[in-house]
Amino acid sequence: MSLSPDRGIMENIGEPLPFEVLYWAGTRPAKVIPWPDEDEKPYPLPFHPLDMGEGALRALCGFIVEGRPDPGDVDADAIELHGFLVRDPNAPDSAEAEAALRAAAATMGPARTYLLGADGTLIKRDTV
């Protein structure tokens, strides 16, 4: 599915999933407040895409990111995830890498700072 409030439905392939039916039926309408300078054209969808996105997250994953959680929602903050660090087995150890970085920085000159001029050219800024 690909849609937006500005362009409406651009692509909608396949049968709607059970949670989608309520949105397409218009039972969860978008609360649209147009900007003062916008045309008063009708809103092209029976729901707001972000609301349906939250509905998809709840239906498929059991939790939401925005809004008030339901009693049956998973407390996503209580789920502990494992992290992994992948390293190159042939790379130098961190102390050697740090030393090489410091040695490279020592060979460099002072830092140079530039500003972007009104005509798009770079103007060297004096550093203190």
pLDDT at 74: 92
| pLDDT tens, residue by residue, 16-47 | 999 999 999 989 988 877 777 666 677 788 88
pLDDT at 58: 94
Distances (CA, A) of 19 to 27, 52, 68, 74: 12, 9, 17, 17
Neighbours of 20 (CB within 10 A): 17
Which is more confidently placed, 111 or 62? Answer: 62
pLDDT at 114 > cutoff 80: yes
Choose the weakest-confidence range: 38-52, 60-74, 80-94.
38-52
What is the average pLDDT score of the chain? Answer: 87
pLDDT at 127: 58
Q: Are 28 and 47 in contact (CB under 8 A)?
A: yes
| Local confidence band at 1 (pLDDT 50, 70, 90 cut-offs) | confident
* Mean pLDDT along residues 113-128: 84
